[in-house]
């Protein structure tokens, strides 16, 4: 058994201590016992182990894609006039900070409020064009023409997404969101419902590891400065309210989603995709975090 | 000039220090210089002074009417399983307490969140029947068959009511609200837009002053215990986050609205209706509060 | 068995569901099974039942005494420039509101922060004179020359009172407290440690019920307006963060302490003292609240 | 004029927009117009410009030194059982998070509460030995035997440090601090009052840039893992509630102090010390932040 398979095997023991996401019915169907990883290096080597072919919805990991796209559409200054850059200790779906902080600006683009504000800035003549641009950009980043939305997850998100509606109407009332709320939520719920595998995540990660250039054909798809901004925000805010601890222990710009995925960037080296739907209390893949800790130590990937 | 006219005259000087409500365009049209009062005693005498015939929308004063109706429909225990009884120092449209406090229950029925939850419990086969029951009950309480909704205010409330939508979707997400959110908001925005005069408010107040019995024909319309509950909640929570100071200085169960009205109950004695659209920073009629202070002192009405 | 004994007996069943205060070691020694009451009417009749002769420390009930004294020393305007009048939903030892609210002013004189600020305003050339004035005033209010401090409780309070020290130093840093912090805390911990019985509480309550005049000799000891202010603040803030519910269900200006006492005022009628050291989660005597509910209903004492 | 002098000159224009710290009288005496920098590379080259020889007190920059020392004394696990690793959006002297968050643990070692908790863990038989160890360690890190405390600043801190006393007593009440509060504050106020220059800061920074080894004599003084933890926490929490924005715009692990200093680490390359007592609203040197932005861009130092 190779190193990666060993890392997966040793960390399966954590899966029992977590739970799959239950806030929408469809996510409860995920396989709690799955744990897998996929690594793509900048020179094109690929490594994988465990349940790497498990499919899952991208969920909050999509927030780094829409952040890059929103900045490319509007410029850094405009985007950060609407959304902050500061980490928060509130939970990802918190509404408190919106009311307490100056300007009612969501604190950063990785919490739900900030991500909804971010997607509201992506250009498009209607909600379909907005989402289509997001989907096409995501396909480009992972070089996978077959990506599609898991419609049953989307339907479930849309039907039960009242907390996100509350966040969006709050921001509509304060002028942060200018478009129609339901139009914005359509794109947001759709982007969260894109179905991916670890391989897709690892390839998206290589683009950031490569400063915005697709490693497989040298095409620049994200300006270098924007790629760096996204990596920085991943490093400080990407793992919900466990971001600080993750930085100390692992030190890789990463983003997790409640579907069980984690995307991690090792700058100049590789992109890592993880799946493990059993989540800890903060909403991060409980086995995935442990796997990343082992990878970071074994291959000396910590950026700090 | 009689005593009441003197009280009005002396307190006009405060009007300049306030502002008419501006959060919806229609309310900005109110006359900042208006100040008037109407008193109806339990034995049917009527006194009035100043701009007592000014028309205005009832706004938050309607919350005491729907609280009585919701308890009559559902019983005290059910209503207070969904809405608390505690005063709060947050502003009337705050969303913070919903997230911070146990059970995500709105703190009391006088803040917007609590009032929206309250109206969601009023029975009716659809939103029209719910609102019709509210309107008919209000007509009964003031013995005025001609009450009607100011449709331009309603339209304005509905179009710009995104903060209230945020509160309602938040409570939908936590299970406090069980009905469709837009159905609930229809009734809520309509009830706030009922057009009244001081005379209407003073007559509604006499019903509470008379423990739930219409003084003009001895018909019981609210059970005695429910009338007392409503009075108590007015005394502790009726004047937004200035309720404590109002109790100390004036000591009358009262409810204010951003349309400039205040309804005050002198138990066993009289009902008082005030109009004065110039508001202080907490959202209470700036002249109206001063007028009530003079009335309370001059006629020894303080209940404490 | 008479009515009062029946009320005590029927409510002993609640005692098991509560706990005696444990935040300082000395209070843990209280008798969890004790429940007693003492009623003194304005014309001098006395009624009692249950464990009415249990001794306990007055704790937070002393806050109404020092509030009256501070206003008599400084005037209403000065006192309320340092302490607010608004009820709060935070717990009695909360520090949050101090930081979040305007001016860093404690919200009301019944929470610990507000009570500490209040005692800092009582005049005296040193801490001993300040506390002596409080003790003499308390003796006067209950006509009991033998009142004294339980020194072991005082020592325990002083040694473990770091949360109160935090509140006091916070207010020192914002200028609310002007004196030396330890001098202020000396008087505060001493006033909380005065040992009383239900009879003492019931007699203090009659003074407020009688608008500031000792009923037994017609001596005015508190100006009428100040007596009313204290009663009002008891009605809105006296039972910690259960004050709103208590007003709805019982409707008597009251103040509780973690020693197990409750003092309740029936204006124009009587003063009630309760003892019952088993406390509910908000810090109120669990049996005592039930006893007051029965008394309020049976003798129609609700002021609303 | 060389590049560094140009950078200093161009950024002097920001100094007018800030203010020197005023919360203690002694700090108000700082020279608002001073702006200087000192760079020490890992191979011993030194560069400087502007008012690099200005003396100032180290203030919060000392927090990184005591964090390293506390971990060396107690191990990582113990220290982080008492203090968290999460960035916060509250101001550096906030007490809110202590009450709202689980376990009443300060969120991170860079805010005042966390730094006070950290210094309480440094070993020593009494307060003098604790502080002496801190001072000797600081001298070692900058290779400057002449470092000493500015006693007038210390006296001023101690006399007016009531907000820090409030934080410390709060943590004493929750068990985070086990020692006597005044003993802990002695060491804390002393460590903040150590007088330094930019050169001292730049040399301390090189030790972290060199993974814990003094570059000038190859002596290891901090274990590699501990040096990395400190750098990580500087990167996510070092610039108060502007840490996220600083990471995005500049990307250097840094720590600021209200004396006007900033210490910045360019891993593997150099240590940077800045002085500029004119502060922005978050408490960071207003000119210093701009100087670092220029250095980061010009020499491509951003770690993300």
What is the number of residues in chain C?
A: 304
Show residues of chain A in contact with D267, CB under 8 Å.
Answer: 304
C272 forms beta bridges with C39, C264
Look at phi and psi of residue C103 and say left if phi exceeds 0, alpha if psi is from -120 to 50, else beta. Answer: left
Q: Going edge to edge, which strands form the sheet with C194-196?
A: C56-57, C194-196, C148-149
Give the residue numbers of C annotated as catalytic, written as ranges: 60, 63, 188, 240, 258
B181 touches chain A (CB under 8 A): yes
Task: Look at residue B26 in the predicted model and tell me its pLDDT.
Answer: 86
Q: Which chains touch A (3 or more CB pairs under 8 A)?
A: B, D
CA angle D116, D118, D119 (to 5 degrees): 70
* pLDDT digits 0-9 by tens, A41-85: 999 999 999 999 999 999 999 999 999 999 999 999 999 999 999
Interatomic CA distance for residues A188 and A185, integer angstroms: 5
Residues 6+ apart with CB under 8 A from D6: none
Signed CA dihedral, C106, C108, C113, C118: sign only? positive
Residue D104 and residue C10: Cα distance in Å, rounded?
40
**Least confident window among B202-216, C82-96, C265-279, D223-237:** C82-96
Q: B272: part of which helix (H) or strand (E)?
A: strand B270-275
Q: Record the tokens describing residue C251, joined without a space.
A: 């409707």
Q: Is C143 on the interface with B (CB under 8 A)?
A: no
Task: Give chain A positions within 8 Å (CB) of D228.
Answer: 251, 302, 304
State residue D117's pLDDT score: 96
**Helix/strand/coil percentages in chain C, nearest 5:** 50, 10, 35
Distance from CA of A287 to the nearest CA of D (A): 21
Cα B191 to Cα A225, B143, B259, B266: the distances in Å are 53, 17, 13, 24
CA angle D148, D151, D155 (to 5 degrees): 145
Do A30 and A277 touch, CB atoms closer than 8 A?
yes
Asked if B85 lies within 8 A of C304 by C-beta distance, the reply is: no
Please name the residues in contact with C64: beta carbons below 8 A apart, sequence gap of 6 or more: C110, C208, C230, C233, C234, C238, C255, C263
CB atoms B166 and A162 under 8 Å = no
Does the active-site annotation cover B258? yes
Going edge to edge, which strands form the sheet with A46-50?
A: A46-50, A36-41, A270-275, A261-266, A254-256
First to last CA, chain C: 31
C141-198 confidence digits (pLDDT tens): 999 999 999 999 999 999 989 999 999 999 999 899 999 999 999 999 999 999 999 9
> d(Cα C126, Cα A213) in Å, to the nearest integer?
75
Tokens representing D281 are: 């609203």
Q: Centre a 10 Å sphere on the Cβ of residue C13 and count the other Cβ atoms it contains.
A: 10
Q: Which helix (H) or strand (E) segment is B202 a member of?
A: helix B198-209
Give yes or no for B246 touching A (CB within 8 A).
no
C75: contact with B, CB 8 A cutoff: no
Say whether B235 and C247 touch across the interface (CB within 8 A).
yes
Least confident among B219-228, D64-73, D89-98: D89-98
Mean pLDDT, chain B, integer: 94
Q: At what angle do helices C181-192 and C62-74 cross, to 10 degrees?
A: 130
* Whole-number Å distance between alpha carbons of B269 and B42: 6
B43 annotated ligand-binding residue: no
For range C66-84, the mean pLDDT = 97
Over residues C204-212, mean pLDDT: 98
Number of residue pairs across A and B with CB atoms under 8 Å?
57
Q: How far is Cα B104 from Cα B98, in angstroms, rounded to an integer?
A: 5
CA distance D80 to D109: 9
- List CB contacts (< 8 A) between B112 and chain A: none
Nearest 10 degrees: Cα torsion A167, A168, A171, A176? 140
3-state secondary structure of B203: helix
Is C260:C249 a contact under the CB 8 Å cutoff? no
Q: Is D296 on the interface with A (CB under 8 A)?
A: no
Q: Is C158 annotated as a binding residue?
A: no
Round the CA-based radius of gyration of chain D to a whole number and report it. 18
Which of chain A's residues have a Cβ under 8 Å away from the Cβ of B96?
95-96, 99-100
Q: How far is CA B90 from the centre of its chain?
A: 18
H-helix or E-strand containing C170?
A: helix C162-173
The answer to whether A218 faces chain B, any CB pair under 8 Å, is no
Which residues, listed in sequence order, are joined to residue B49 by a DSSP beta bridge?
Answer: B37
Q: Is the pLDDT of residue C94 over 80?
A: no
Sheet of strand B194-196: strand arrangement: B56-57, B194-196, B148-149
Q: What is the pLDDT of residues C20-37, one digit of tens each?
A: 998 788 889 999 999 999
Nearest to C236 among B88, B236, B303 (CB): B236
Sign of CA dihedral A163, A165, A166, A168: positive
pLDDT at D285 over 80: yes
Option in B85, B89, B231 nearest C97 (CB): B89
Q: Which of B277, B302, B284 is nearest to B12 (CA)?
A: B277
Mutate which of D248, D266, D284, D297 to test chain A, going by most A C-beta atoms within 10 A?
A: D248
Catalytic residue status for B23? no
> For A191, how many CA atoms within 13 A lie in the half-sphere containing its CB?
35
Tokens of D215: 């570059």
Tens digit of each residue's pLDDT (9 = 90 or more) over B33-69: 999 999 999 999 999 999 999 999 999 999 999 999 9
CA distance C154 to A289: 51
Q: Which residues of D are annotated as a binding site?
A: 60, 112, 157, 164, 188, 240, 258
Q: Which residues of chain A have pLDDT under 70?
A: 1, 89-103
Q: Per the CB < 8 Å rule, is D166 touching C170? A: yes
- Measured CA to CA, the distance from residue A54 to residue A284 in angstroms comes to 17
Cα B287 from Cα B293, distance rounded (Å): 10
| Residue C223 sits at the chain B interface (C-beta within 8 Å) | no
Query: How many Cα atoms occupy the beta-carbon half-sphere of C198 within 13 Å?
Result: 24
Round to whole Å and give the CA distance between D66 and D120: 10
Contacts made by residues B214-218, CB under 8 angstroms, sequence distance 24+: B214/B140, B214/B141, B214/B143, B215/B40, B215/B42, B215/B43, B215/B44, B216/B44, B216/B143
* 3-class DSSP string for chain D: CCHHHHHHHHHHHHHHHCECCCCCHHHHHCCCCCCEEEEEECCCCEEEEECCCCCEECHHHHHHHHHHHHHHHHCHHHHHHHCCCCCCCCCCCCCHHHHHCHHHCCCCCCCHHHHHHHHCCCCCCCHHHHHHHHHHHHHHHHCCCCCEECHHHHHHHHHHCHHHHHHHHHHHHHCCCCCCHHHHHHHHHHHHCEEECHHHHHHHHHHHHCCCECCCCCCECCCHHHHHHHHHHHHHHCCHHHHHHHHHHCCCCEEECCCCEEEEEECCCEEEEEECCCECCCCCEHHHHHHHHHHHHHCCCCCC
Q: What is the mean pLDDT of chain D?
A: 94
Distance CA D122, CA D72 (A): 9
pTM of the predicted protein model: 0.92
Closest Cα partner for A69 from A223, A192, A267? A223
Distance from CA of D118 to the nearest CA of C (A): 18
Percentage of chain A lying above the pLDDT 90 cut: 85
From the list C97, C232, C245, the residue facing B248 with the nearest CB is C232
Percentage of residues in chain D with pLDDT exceeding 90? 85
Check if B235 contacts C (Cβ < 8 Å). Answer: yes
Q: Which residues of A are catalytic?
A: 60, 63, 188, 240, 258
Q: Tell me whether B232 touches chain C (CB under 8 Å).
A: yes
**Crossing angle (nearest 10°) for helices C224-237 and C198-209:** 120
Mean pLDDT of C101-105: 64
Taking contacts as CB-CB distances below 8 angstroms, the residues of chain B near C241 are 86
| Contact B165/A at CB under 8 A | yes
Q: pLDDT for D187-228, tens place per residue?
A: 999 999 999 999 999 999 999 999 999 999 999 999 999 999
Least confident residue range of B45-54, C120-129, D100-109 = D100-109
Give the torsion sign (CA, D153, D158, D159, D164): positive
Residues of chain B with pLDDT under 70: 1, 89-103
Predicted local confidence at residue A94, as pLDDT: 67
Q: Most C CBs within 10 Å: which of D100, D173, D174, D175, as the mutation test of the C interface?
A: D173
Say whether pLDDT at D99 is over 90.
no
pLDDT at position A241:
83
Taking a C-beta distance cutoff of 8 angstroms, is the pair B288, B12 a contact? no
Task: Give the chains touching C; criterion: ≥3 Cβ pairs < 8 Å.
Answer: B, D
* Direct distance between the N- and C-terminal alpha carbons of chain B, in angstroms, rounded to an integer: 31
- Which residues of C are less than 8 Å from B89 in CB distance? 86-89, 97, 101, 107
Set out the domains of chain D in order of their start, with CATH numbers. 3-59+195-298 (3.40.710.10), 60-192 (3.40.710.10)
Q: State residue C86's pLDDT score.
A: 85
Residue A168 with chain B: CB contacts under 8 Å: 166
Which neighbouring-strand residues pair with D50? D36
d(CA B89, nearest CA chain C) in Å:
6
Q: Which of B95, B172, B173 sits opposite A170 (nearest CB)?
A: B95
Q: Is residue C1 classed exposed, middle or buried when 0-12, 13-18 and 19+ CB atoms within 10 A define those classes? A: exposed
B11 is in an annotated binding site: no
Per the residue annotation, which of D188, D254, D275, D285 is the catalytic one? D188
Annotated binding site of D for substrate: 60, 112, 157, 164, 188, 240, 258
pLDDT for B92: 65
Tell me whether residue B217 is annotated as binding.
no
> What's the pLDDT score for residue C103?
57
Which residue in chain B is spatially nearest to C227 when comparing CA positions?
B304
Q: Which of B244, B241, B239 is nearest to B261 (CA)?
A: B239
**Does position D88 have pLDDT exceeding 80, yes or no?**
no
User: Per-residue DSSP letters for C176-209?
Assistant: S--S-HHHHHHHHHHHHTEEE-HHHHHHHHHHHH
The residue written with tokens 């130092």 in the block is D301
Alpha-carbon distance D49 to C267, whole Å?
Answer: 77
D108 touches chain A (CB under 8 A): yes
Minimal CA separation from C87 to chain B, in Å: 6
């Amino acid at each position: 058994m190779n190193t990666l398979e060993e890392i997966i095997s040793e960390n399966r023991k954590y899966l029992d201590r977590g739970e799959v996401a239950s806030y929408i019915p469809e996510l409860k169907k995920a396989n709690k016992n799955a744990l897998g990883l996929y690594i793509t290096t900048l020179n094109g080597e690929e490594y994988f182990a465990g349940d790497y072919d498990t499919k899952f919805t991208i969920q909050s990991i999509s927030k780094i894609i829409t952040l890059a796209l929103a900045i490319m559409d509007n410029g850094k200054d405009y985007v950060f006039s609407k959304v902050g850059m500061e980490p928060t200790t509130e939970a990802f779906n918190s509404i408190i900070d919106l009311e307490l902080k100056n300007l009612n600006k969501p604190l950063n683009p990785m919490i739900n409020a900030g991500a909804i504000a971010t997607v509201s800035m992506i250009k498009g003549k209607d909600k379909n064009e907005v989402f289509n641009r997001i989907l096409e950009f995501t396909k480009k980043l992972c070089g996978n023409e077959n990506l599609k939305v898991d419609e049953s997850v989307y339907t479930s998100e849309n039907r039960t997404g009242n907390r996100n509606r509350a966040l969006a109407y709050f921001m509509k009332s304060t002028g942060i969101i200018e478009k129609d709320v339901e139009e914005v939520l359509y794109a947001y719920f759709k982007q969260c419902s894109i179905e991916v595998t670890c391989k897709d995540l690892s390839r998206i990660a290589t683009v950031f590891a490569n400063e915005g250039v697709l490693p497989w054909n040298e095409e620049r798809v994200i300006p270098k400065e924007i790629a760096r901004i996204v990596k920085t925000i991943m490093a400080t805010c990407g793992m919900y309210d466990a971001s600080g601890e993750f930085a100390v222990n692992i030190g890789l710009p990463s983003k997790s989603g409640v579907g069980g995925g984690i995307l991690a960037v090792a700058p100049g080296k590789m992109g890592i995709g993880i799946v493990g739907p059993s989540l800890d209390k903060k909403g991060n893949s409980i086995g995935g975090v442990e796997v990343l800790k082992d990878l970071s130590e074994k291959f000396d990937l910590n950026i700090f």
